[in-house]
Amino acid sequence: MYPEYMVAPIREDLTSAGFEQLMTPEEVEQAVKTEGTVLLAVNSVCGCAASKARPALKMAVAAADKKPVKLVTVFAGMEQDAVAKAREHMLPYPPSSPSIALFKDGELVHMIERYHIEGNELHRIVDNLKGAFDAYC
Active-site positions read 46, 48
Nearest of 88, 94, 75, 100 to residue 23 by alpha carbon:
75
Phi, psi of 110 (to 5 degrees): -155, 140
Strand 20-21 to 70-75 pairing:
parallel
CA 128 to chain centroid, in Å, comes to 13
Across 43-64, b (16+ Cβ under 10 Å) vs e yields bbbbebbeebbbebbbbbbeeb
